[in-house]
Amino acid sequence: MSFKRDIMEDITHTYIGIQYELRKHLRRRRFAIAIILAVVLPILFYAVPKIWNTGFAETSESFVSSNLGFVNLLIIISAALFAGDAISGEFEKKTALLTFSTPQRRTSIFAGKYIAALTAIFVIVSLYYIITILEVIQIYGINNVPLDLVKSYLLALLYVCSVLSLTFFFSSIFKSVISSTLISFFTLMMILPIVSMLLTVVKIEPWFIVTYSAGLITDVFVQPIFMGGAGGERGGGFTEYAPDFGTGVWVMVAYAVILFIMSIIIAVRKDVE
Amino acid sequence: MHEIKKPRRNMFVAIVVIALALLGGLQTIPLTNGENGLAQPPPQLQPDVKITSITFSNNNPGEDEEITISATVWNNNTMNITNVTITFSYDITTIENITNLSIGAKENMTINVTWKAVKWNHNISVMVSIDGMPLKDSMMSKEITVNAKPIGDVLSLVIALMIVFIIITGTITIPGIWKYITNKKCK
């Protein structure tokens, strides 16, 4: 009976934590910024060709693929906004000290923060996809909405989990909000893509890098003609690679799960000085 | 009548022999082009056989799709040519060699091969050889784009997402389970 009560308490505490964090996200301007980005970015792809009268892409797949090329960026920015300070903020502002006097476990608090950030980013990514679909319906008609959008959307959600776990991991390591936010942002925006590119130059497929797997979000529209492994040599003997679907998905799952567990373990064991 | 004396006759024979030897030697010296000093092969007349067209049964096939590549060979000579080999290849990989062909004088011949399309952009080349010797300027190439198979499935993505959610929500309950196990052990 006590076991069941313990488990139920943990779940309730996490639920309270999620509610609190979501309210906090809504109160902050960060959520509004992310919403604006999610609305403006896809609208630009519709408005610019319309205003300049340059015409849209020939196929709806090409249009969606180029439009969703920026969803990765939105996910990284959103993760930095919602999770960059999730753990480090508690230690920097010493608010983690309050956990000693509360019946809530740190695990429940941090899991609540994670789930709340996940929910917020899911909403933002969904908004981006909804606007893109509306644009496709407007330009190409409802019959030309690519079915691969479902796969792309699910891949984007999976990528959100992995990016958020990575951001949480850095947030649990560092005690400064600025350090954790900037390092997670630059790791996803610059360091990992640079490592991927360097590995490609030396003809090693960077299959284990999550930003490389994120290419699948747009690759599902069969835009690239090569999938999984080396595509072939281009000018200057440069080999092109594209992520394999199965490997890419499991890499994202591995990043999401392993880094989340690691961040929770580090955060729970961390001293509040 | 003057009679050539013996020593003079011997000298004449010697001069003739030397002259002949020199002429023979000159013939064995390789001809050079004067620029790089490399020997130039003697000019040979090659049969005028060319690939005039390459066509695909599908210009934009999908990966692993079997397509037919057709090549038309034109014999521009006034005589029949035998022992012709047509080599089909993509990039540097040979698809098929069609051997022992005979092409009539001033005639076209169309040869078809089947190719299981490999993803990526490829250069499909067709080359003519006669008696195993590739003919200069006989090769023709054409680019083809092979689309990769549609990738992924929704089910595996849903499973992957469910795994992540189960593990994340499971993490919440782990401390409670751990506490229960350790308390039970203490008792």
Domain presence at residue B88: yes
Q: Specify if B15 maps to a domain.
A: no
Quick one: pLDDT at residue B29?
A: 46
B160 closest CB neighbour out of A9, A111, A253: A253
- Whether B113 is covered by a domain: the verdict is yes
Q: How confident is the model at residue A235, as a pLDDT?
A: 47
Q: Which residue of A has its CA nearest to B61?
A: A225
For chain A, where are the alpha helices, taking DSSP H only? 2-27, 29-52, 60-67, 71-83, 88-92, 106-140, 148-173, 177-186, 192-201, 210-213, 216-219, 245-269
Residue B81 lies in a domain: yes
Hey, where are the domains in chain A? 3-269
Best of B91, B118, B143, B151 to disrupt the A interface (most A CBs within 10 Å) is B151
How much is the pTM? 0.71
What pLDDT shows up at residue B32? 46
What residues pair up with B120 in beta bridges, in sequence order?
Answer: B146
B144: three-class secondary structure by DSSP: strand
- Please state, in angstroms and rounded to a whole number, the distance separating the CA atoms of residues A224 and A55: 22
A187 and chain B in contact, CB less than 8 A:
no
Identify the segments of chain B with pLDDT beneath 70: 1-7, 17, 20-45, 184-187
- Give me the sheet containing B107-116, strands edge to edge: B49-56, B66-75, B107-116
Cα A252 to Cα A112: distance, rounded to the nearest angstrom: 21
Name the residue in chain B with its Cα closest to that of A108.
Answer: B172
Chain B contact for A265, CB < 8 A? no
Chain B residues with CB under 8 Å of A257 CB are: 163-164, 167-168
What was the pLDDT predicted at B180?
77
Min Cα separation A56/chain B (Å): 22
User: Which residues of chain A register pLDDT less than 70?
Assistant: 1, 96-101, 222-239, 272-273
Kindly state whether residue B107 falls inside one of the protein's structural domains.
yes
CA dist A39 and A61 (Å) reads 20
Closest CA to A79 of A15, A39, A28, A30: A30
B→A interface, C-beta within 8 Å: 119-121, 145-154, 156-158, 160-161, 163-164, 167-169, 171-177, 179-180
Give the model confidence (pLDDT) of B56-104 as tens digits. Answer: 999 888 888 999 999 999 998 888 899 999 999 998 889 999 999 999 9
CA distances from A83 to A12, A70, A154, A193 (A): 22, 20, 21, 21
The answer to whether A6 and B181 are in contact (CB under 8 A) is no
pLDDT of residue A87: 81
- What are the chain B neighbours of A231 within 8 Å (beta carbons)? 119-120
What was the pLDDT predicted at B52? 92
List of chain B residues whose C-beta atoms are within 8 Å of the C-beta of residue A9: 176
- The beta-carbon neighbor of B164 closest among A2, A3, A257 is A257
What is the β-pairing status of strands B49-56 and B66-75? antiparallel
Name the closest residue on chain B to residue A17, using Cα atoms.
B172
- Give the number of residues written for chain B: 187
Supply the pLDDT for residue B35: 46
Q: Which of A14, A161, A225 to mutate to test the interface with B (most CBs of B within 10 A)?
A: A225
| CATH code of residue B127 | 2.60.40.10
Of B120, B160, B175, Cβ closest to residue A231: B120
Residue B127: φ, ψ to 5°: -135, 145
The pLDDT assigned to A99 comes to 67
Predicted pLDDT of residue B163: 94
Work out how many domains chain B is built from and give that number. Answer: 1
Cross-chain residue pair B157–A249, CB shorter than 8 Å: yes
| Domain annotation covers residue B165 | no
Half-sphere exposure of B142 (CA within 13 A, CB side): 16
In the prediction, which pLDDT does A225 show?
47
Minimal Cβ distance to B168: which of A115, A227, A231: A115
**β-strand pairing of A238-242 with B66-75:** unpaired
H/E element, B10: helix B6-28
Q: Is A54 helix (H, G, I), strand (E, B) or coil?
A: coil
Distance from CA of B73 to the nearest CA of A (A): 30
Between chains, do B160 and A250 touch, taking CB under 8 Å as contact?
Answer: yes
Cβ of residue A254 closer than 8 Å to a chain B Cβ? no
Q: Is residue B171 part of a domain?
A: no
Test mutation, A121, A249, A266, chain B, max B CBs within 10 A: A249
Torsion angle of C-alpha atoms A242, A243, A245, A247, degrees rounded to 10: 150
3-state helix, strand, coil in chain B (%, to 5): 30, 40, 30
Closest residue of A to B160, CA-based? Answer: A253
Angle at the Cα of A103 (from B182 to A170), degrees rounded to 5? 85
A9 shares contact with chain B (CB less than 8 Å): yes
Nearest chain A residue (CA) to B152: A245
Which residues have C-beta within 8 Å of that of residue A228, sequence separation ≥ 6? A242, A243, A244, A245, A247
**How is residue A96 annotated by DSSP?**
G
Q: What is the pLDDT of residue A233?
A: 52
The answer to the question of residue B85 being in a domain is yes
